Amino acid sequence: MKKLIYVFLINIFITNYSSALIEVDITRGNLDPLPIAVSPLHVDIKSEKYKDVNVKELGEKISEIIEKNFKNTGLFNPLKKDAFVQKPDIAHLKPRFEDWRLIKAQALVTGKLLISGDKLKVEFRLWDLAAAQEMTALAFTTTPSNWRRVAHIISDKIYERLTGEEGYFDTRIIYVAESGPKNQRIKKLAIMDQDGSNTKYLTLGNELVLTPRFNPTNQMVTYMSYFRNMPRVYLLDIETGTQEVVGNFPGMTFAPRFSPDGKKIIMSFAKDGNSDIFTMDLETRLVERITEHSSIDTSPSFSPDGKFIAFNSDRSGLQQIYVMRSDGSNVKRITFGKGIYGTPVWSPRGDLIAFTKMHKGKFYIGVMRIDGSGERLLTENYYQEAPSWSPNGRVLVFYRETKSGSKGEGFSAKLWSIDITGYNERRLLTKTDASDPSWSSLLSK
Amino acid sequence: MTLKSNLKNILLVIFTTLLLSACSTAKKTGDIDGDVYTGKETVEYLAAGVPDRVFFATNKSSLTTASRATLRKQATFLRKNKNLNVVIEGHADERGTREYNLALGERRANAARDYLMTYGISGKRLSVISYGKEKPVNPESSPIAWSQNRRSVTVKVN
> Does B17 lie at the interface with A, CB-CB under 8 angstroms?
no
Helices (H), A87-199: 88-93, 97-102, 147-163
CATH tag for B33-156 (out of 1.10.10.60, 3.10.20.30, 3.40.50.300, 3.30.1330.60): 3.30.1330.60
Residue A359 distance to chain B (closest CA, Å): 11
Q: Determine the Cα–Cα distance for residues A4 and A16; give it in Å rounded to an integer.
A: 28
Average pLDDT per run of 10 along chain A, which is 445 residues long?
42 41 71 92 94 93 98 95 93 95 96 95 96 95 95 97 96 98 96 97 97 97 97 96 95 98 98 97 97 98 98 97 98 96 98 97 97 97 98 97 96 97 95 98 88
Q: Determine, for residues B99 and A254 on separate chains, whether the beta-carbon distance falls below 8 Å.
A: yes
> Does B49 lie at the interface with A, CB-CB under 8 angstroms?
no
Q: Higher confidence at residue B5 or residue A389?
A: A389
| A contacts of B134 (beta carbons < 8 Å) | 185, 208, 210
| A contacts of B89 (beta carbons < 8 Å) | none
> pLDDT value at position A24?
75
Q: Determine the Cα–Cα distance for residues B93 and A115; give it in Å rounded to an integer.
A: 55
Residue A205 distance to chain B (closest CA, Å): 14
Residue A118 — left, alpha, or beta (φ > 0 → left; ψ -120 to 50 → alpha)? left
The structural domains of chain B, with segments of one domain joined by +, span 1-30, 33-156
Three-state secondary structure call for residue A233: strand
Residue A405 distance to chain B (closest CA, Å): 5
Q: Determine the Cα–Cα distance for residues A105 and B2; give it in Å rounded to an integer.
A: 82
Q: Determine the Cα–Cα distance for residues A204 and A214; give it in Å rounded to an integer.
A: 19
Parallel, antiparallel or unpaired: strands A332-333 and A320-325: antiparallel
> Does B95 lie at the interface with A, CB-CB under 8 angstroms?
yes
> Could you count the other beta carbons within 10 Å of the beta carbon of residue A52?
7
Task: Identify whether the C-beta of residue A74 lies closer than 8 Å to the C-beta of residue A418.
Answer: no
Phi, psi of A56, rounded to the nearest 5 degrees: -60, -40
Name the packing angle between helices B98-118 and B65-80 (round to 10°).
60
User: Which secondary-structure segment (H or E) carries B9?
Assistant: helix B3-30
> Does A72 lie at the interface with B, CB-CB under 8 angstroms?
no
Phi, psi of B79, rounded to the nearest 5 degrees: -65, -40
B10, pLDDT greater than 90: no
> pLDDT value at position B61?
97
Give the predicted TM-score (pTM) of the model: 0.91
Average pLDDT over residues B56-70: 97
> pLDDT value at position A21?
73
> pLDDT value at position B17?
46
Chain B neighbours among A 376-405 (CB < 8 Å)? 382-383, 385-386, 401, 403-405
Listed in sequence order, the residues at least 6 apart from A59 whose beta carbon sits closer than 8 Å to its beta carbon are A40, A41, A42, A43, A88, A111, A112, A113
Could you say which DSSP state residue A83 is in? G
Listed in sequence order, the residues at least 6 apart from A13 whose beta carbon sits closer than 8 Å to its beta carbon are A125, A134, A137
> pLDDT value at position A11?
36
> pLDDT value at position B9?
57
Q: Determine the Cα–Cα distance for residues A368 and A148; give it in Å rounded to an integer.
A: 35
Could you say which DSSP state residue B57 is in? -
> pLDDT value at position A5?
44
> pLDDT value at position A146?
93
Q: What is the ipTM of this complex?
A: 0.92
Name the packing angle between helices A55-73 and A147-163 (round to 10°).
40
Assign B26 a pLDDT band (cuts: 50, 70, 90).
very low
Optimal mutation site among B63, B94, B97, interface A, most CBs of chain A within 10 A = B97
> pLDDT value at position B29?
54
Number of cross-chain residue pairs from A and B with Cβ atoms under 8 Å apart: 109
Three-state secondary structure call for residue A359: strand
Do you know the residue count of chain A? 445
SS (H, E, C) B80-91: HCCCCCEEEEEE
Domains of chain A from N-terminus onward: 34-163 (3.40.50.10070), 172-439 (2.120.10.30)
Q: Determine, for residues A299 and B94 on separate chains, whether the beta-carbon distance falls below 8 Å.
A: no
Optimal mutation site among B59, B93, B100, B115, interface A, most CBs of chain A within 10 A = B100
Q: Which of A407-411, A434-438, B3-7, B93-97 has the lowest mean pLDDT?
A: B3-7
> pLDDT value at position A17?
42
